Amino acid sequence: MIADANRYEPRSNDTVLDFARHYGTSILPARPRHPQDKAKAESAVQVVERWIMMRLRHQQFSSVHEVNVAIAPLLVRLNDKPFQKLPGCRASAFAELDAPALLPLPLQRYEMAHFKTVTVHIDYHVEVERHRYSVPHALVGQVMEARITATTVEILHRGQRVASHALNSRQGGFTTVPAHMPAAHRAHMEWTPQRLIHWGETIGPATAEAVTRLMAENKHPEHGYRSCLGLLSLAKRYGKVRLEAGCMLALQIGACKYRHVNDILKNNRDQSKPAAAGDWVSPDHVHVRGPGYYQ
């Protein structure tokens, strides 16, 4: 409940703050082991224990409804009981002080939510539980807050909602709103499909072809940007010559994604010599009988 138990500035966690924001109220955390910070609440619990729970302690109930029926008249008697040192009673104090300040309940009930800090990637998507959701492309590079409920993912920027999506559990998938996309696939940091392909061409034709295929596999080319950047970044680790050789081998086996090329380079498969062509001949072995055995 408390994210930061600071003595002077304690802070509730994001879910508690979101609950308070939904109902238009505020929550002031009490100090640990200091019941005097909430004396009225602690005293009210004691009064209910003495006036209600004590009177019902010998009764047996088979359902919550029976308990509520038994509590209702005792609660009315407790609230109508005059104060010992103040005028009026709990019911009159509520009607005079609390009732006029009450606000109507929100039209929608509060839905439990948890929060996650996310960053908008160059493909103007954020990743939540291994699924990617779009935000307006102008927010690329910004740090956001994702509010996640059982049915919805909301993206908040400085407390303001900038995107809302239905929760999607498909890992590795994309949920994209067309209005979030940049005009003519330009905007976010000048990245375009043509720029990525040209970058691949500076390494070699096989790398350029691998980049082209990565973007062609997605409904929107931007969805392949992250894989393309990962693929091209392998040139820093292994060099352009090895990356070109790795992409060439990946294209031959029909697997040119980043993880495939990375595995080829990591296992040095790009440097292994291809097997010589020719007819395979079984080596001599005591358990190999040969064709003469069957004559």
Taking residue 48's Cβ as centre, other Cβ atoms within 10 Å add up to 15
- Write down the residue that tokens 């990591």 correspond to: 266
Q: How far apart are CA 153 and CA 147, in angstroms?
A: 6
Q: What is the pLDDT of residues 126-181, one digit of tens each?
A: 999 999 999 998 899 999 999 999 999 999 998 899 999 999 988 888 898 888 88
- Sketch the domain layout of the chain as residue ranges: 2-101, 114-185, 191-271
Q: What is the pLDDT of residues 36-88, one digit of tens each?
A: 888 788 888 888 988 899 999 999 999 999 999 999 999 999 999 999 888 99
Q: How far apart are CA 275 and CA 277, in angstroms?
A: 6
Burial of residue 287 (CB within 10 Å: 0-12, 13-18, 19+) is exposed
Helices H, strands E: what count in the chain? Answer: 9, 9
pTM above 0.75, yes or no: no
Please report, for residues 19, 154, 170, 236, 246, the alpha-carbon distance to residue 83 in angstroms, rounded to integers and kept in the order given: 33, 48, 60, 79, 85
Taking residue 222's Cβ as centre, other Cβ atoms within 10 Å add up to 26
